[in-house]
Homo-oligomer: A and B are copies of this chain.
Amino acid sequence: MAAAFAAIGGKWKLTLLYWLGHGESHFAGLRRRSAPITPKVLAEQLRELEADGLVERVATGPVPAPVIYRLTPYGSTVLPVVEGVRVWGEEHLRRSPAAGTPMSCVNAIA
């Protein structure tokens, strides 16, 4: 429980994993899709995901060239979990629409 939470418990990690589950992406792409995340936080969360072996960075050439982020095979194993959370979250929204707004830590709509 706690271990899982440590790996995917960041504010944006589920969102990032969700988008990466839809295909690899570069920094700016993730930033756009996960707005309004700041570059600093995005870099932090990506580095943590990378440290946990869920995500890998692949450089595509000499700078300036987009750096691609993609799920590792291991990272793909969380997708069902992420999807489960997402689906339940939608149900929860339908049940109590207020859930989307009043929270402080709720900005991303994945």
Cβ contacts under 8 Å, A85 to chain B: 1, 4-5, 8, 81, 85
CB contacts (< 8 Å) of A109 on chain B: these are 1-2
Size category, A interface = 35 or more
Main secondary structure of the interface of A (DSSP, over half): helix
**Count of identical protomers in the assembly:** 2
Give the shortest distance, in Å, between A95 (CB) and chain B (any CB): 7
Q: Interface-forming stretch among A38-46, A55-63, A98-106?
A: A98-106
Question: Would B2 and A107 count as touching, CB distance under 8 A?
Answer: yes
Does A29 belong to the interface (CB within 8 Å)? Answer: no
Contacts of A105 in B (CB 8 A): 2, 5-6, 9
